[in-house]
Amino acid sequence: MSNQKIHESKYNQILSKIPICHRLPDRTFNIRGYYFPVCARCTGLYLGAILFFTYSLFFLIGYSQTLILLAFISIIPMIIDGLTQFLGFRESYNGLRFITGFVAGFGLALLFLFFKITLL
């Protein structure tokens, strides 16, 4: 077994003990047989949040009631996608999981910063 495979195996063993994602292979992006450490929805969620946090470092965010409402609304598609799949109404696909996660990531990050600023 190569060093890369050994390292990846140890990495996956550590991640599997952390409850950050279900990590089902059929719902996870892969590149040349190497699976991402989180599913497509979580990949979008984390990427959306990271991009929003990065954006907020360079640009001032003017928090308004409309913006906060949009942040809450941006989470709804991910909830609908996940819930309808969980209840067996339909089967989602990785592209949709990623997009709904990405949009929700933006919304959740915006809400996180808003509440952080408001409460502190």
The C-alpha R_g of the chain, in whole angstroms, comes to 17
Domain that holds residue 70: 3-119
Q: Which residues are CB-neighbours of 17 under 8 A, at least 6 positions away?
A: none
Instruction: Out of 76-80, 91-95, 106-110, pick the least confident.
Output: 91-95
Q: DSSP assignment, residue 61?
A: -
Q: Which residues are CB-neighbours of 70 under 8 A, at least 6 positions away?
A: 107
pLDDT-based confidence at residue 120 (cuts at 50, 70, 90): confident
pLDDT digits (tens, 9 = 90+) for 32-86: 877 777 888 988 999 999 999 999 999 999 899 999 999 999 999 999 999 999 8
Q: How far apart are CA 74 and CA 101, in angstroms?
A: 9
pTM of the model: 0.79
In this prediction, residues 86-91 reach a mean pLDDT of 92
Q: How many domains does the chain have?
A: 1
pLDDT at 5 over 70: no
pLDDT at 90 over 80: yes
Q: What angle do CA 109, 115, 119 make, to 5 degrees?
A: 150
